[in-house]
Structure 1
Amino acid sequence: MGRDKAEIAAPPWQLEGQGLIALFACTRDFGNACAEAVPALRGRARGGIGALMLVDYARSNVGPYRELLIVPGRYADAHGHSRPAVTHIWVSTRQSVDGGRFNWGLPKQRASFRDRAEGDARAVDIHRGDSATIRLAWRTFGPPVPVTTGLLRSRWHTLDQPCGDYRYRTRITARGRVRPARLTGHAIPPETGFADIFSQRHLATFAVSRFTMTFPVADIQAMPSTDRIAGH
């Protein structure tokens, strides 16, 4: 991991900020293609509603940082239960990378985020090293509406994340203000290695402001030996 355990910020993490959420109807084939980045998920995709999230954390246990991630629907565990999992996640700081991997099994990688001007739209460029650039641009409209994860069934905001020989189950809670948004531009070149969720059917996009989020201590369990065979 490159960092001593004592240097990693322990959970729970309390986070505040703003972000963009684009929802998609994801196929099993897409979920299994995304699972190449997380071998324990191979062959376990169940499809369903997935999301691309671009988040700007103004405050967290490891200071401000930015994040881009994909949840390509749900994945089944050895008992047949299915929950969301993250397959691709880029963040802007080393502290977030190390904390996310150690505390919740998230496959975080460090990337650079840069705001850019695009008329009256908000726009962000994201890239890792010398890879091609991911571009997102959007406009918001309509009044904001308060929302909370308390309105959802728990399985929709509980990550079931395999990492190594363990499975990290994390029930995330959040509240904030949501307003509709329209994507005005997007590009995820294949050279980035980031899954292009725009190949799936787009459902809706929302901008989230003034949100607070809690990542609690994960329930960490050893995976059954059957989950470790042939990359599972």
Structure 2
Amino acid sequence: MEGSPSMAYPPSPWSLRGRMHVSVWAVPVADVPALPAALSGAVRVVRLFGRAFIGTAWVDYQPGGDLSYHELLAAVLTRAGWRPRVTITHIWVDSVASRDGGRALWGIPKDLAVFAEGAAAASTADGPVASAALPRGNGIPPRLPVGFNVVQDLAGRPCTTPVRSTARYGLARVAWTIAPDGPLRFLAGKRPLLSFVAAGFTMRFGTAQRV
């Protein structure tokens, strides 16, 4: 879908659909990527027994949504008071429109990467980022709703963005290979606590812009 004549990406909110594999990791708090200074008074990293929780995801945004592209991301579980939040620290896409829109609309620090054809493998000009062996399971019915809020640094201020989706969920075994000298090296050599597939998801990311 084309954006309006004044922009090269769709306006908020984005309606997206596709397939996603998510893994959840528990890592030492000292290994957690630093959050932007603009978020210091807005969110805190969730800690439990000296560990923090990071989610990683491979996403195939498929035709039928506002944009179709591939994505690899890492996000930290944070909290605003006692309200859970998600803060994306690393994210790569193979769509210029997604990169530019994510940065401009919500402060999501998207960069471009090359995704291997037909495989979960991403690399940049600096080298490999990560790869994974993804199962083919399609989750189980019924479709379940999920909602959460993403908090990012947008032009030096916290920006909270709602995300709402439905999908068929199922546990999955995702075998990750993280480049030990790449940007996700804080996960290299570790195994996720659990992984799952969100099959056939539909997602609404963001809210309508005020005119």
Q: Check whether TM > 0.5.
A: yes
Gaps of 5+ in 2: none
The alpha-carbon deviation at position 170 of structure 1 amounts to 0.8
Identity %: 27
Q: Could you say what secondary structure the match of 2:101 adopts?
A: helix
Partner residue in 2 for 1:90: 92
The alpha-carbon deviation at position 200 of structure 1 amounts to 5.8
CA gap 1:23/1:53 in 2 versus in 1, 3 angstroms: same
Q: After TM superposition, where is structure 1 displaced by more than 6 Å over at least 4 residues in a row?
A: none
| Matching residue within 135, 139, 159 for 2:135 | 139
CA gap 1:106/1:5 in 2 versus in 1, 3 angstroms: farther
Q: Is the 8 Å Cα contact of residues 70 and 87 (structure 1) preserved in structure 2?
A: yes
CA gap 1:126/1:164 in 2 versus in 1, 3 angstroms: same
C-alpha separation between the residues in 1 aligned to 2:202 and 2:158? 25
The amino acid of 2:203's aligned partner reads M
Deviates more, 1:21-30 or 1:157-166: 21-30
C-alpha separation between the residues in 2 aligned to 1:58 and 1:161? 25
Q: Could you say what secondary structure the match of 2:128 adopts?
A: coil
Q: CA RMSD in A?
A: 3.0
Q: Is the 8 Å Cα contact of residues 170 and 218 (structure 1) preserved in structure 2?
A: no
CA gap 1:127/1:202 in 2 versus in 1, 3 angstroms: same
The amino acid of 2:183's aligned partner reads G
C-alpha separation between the residues in 1 aligned to 2:170 and 2:22? 10
Q: Could you say what secondary structure the match of 2:24 adopts?
A: strand
- Structure richer in helix, relative to its length: 1
C-alpha separation between the residues in 2 aligned to 1:74 and 1:26? 14
Gaps of 5+ in 1: 117-122, 220-232
Say whether 1:107 aligns with 2:109. Answer: yes
Say whether 1:54 aligns with 2:58. Answer: yes
Q: Is the 8 Å Cα contact of residues 167 and 200 (structure 2) preserved in structure 1?
A: yes
Say whether 1:193 aligns with 2:183. Answer: yes
1:11-53 superposed Cα distances (whole Å, 9 cap, x missing partner): 110001001011223443232xx126x4545794333443111
Q: TM-score, normalised by structure 2?
A: 0.79
The alpha-carbon deviation at position 125 of structure 1 amounts to 1.2
Q: Could you say what secondary structure the match of 1:192 adopts?
A: coil
C-alpha separation between the residues in 1 aligned to 2:186 and 2:143? 28
C-alpha separation between the residues in 2 aligned to 1:75 and 1:110? 28
The alpha-carbon deviation at position 175 of structure 1 amounts to 0.3
CA gap 1:170/1:22 in 2 versus in 1, 3 angstroms: same
Say whether 1:163 aligns with 2:154. Answer: yes
1:83-139 superposed Cα distances (whole Å, 9 cap, x missing partner): 2200001011110000000111100001111145xxxxxx41110114134111133
C-alpha separation between the residues in 1 aligned to 2:15 and 2:139? 26
Partner residue in 2 for 1:226: none
| Matching residue within 75, 78, 87 for 1:71 | 75
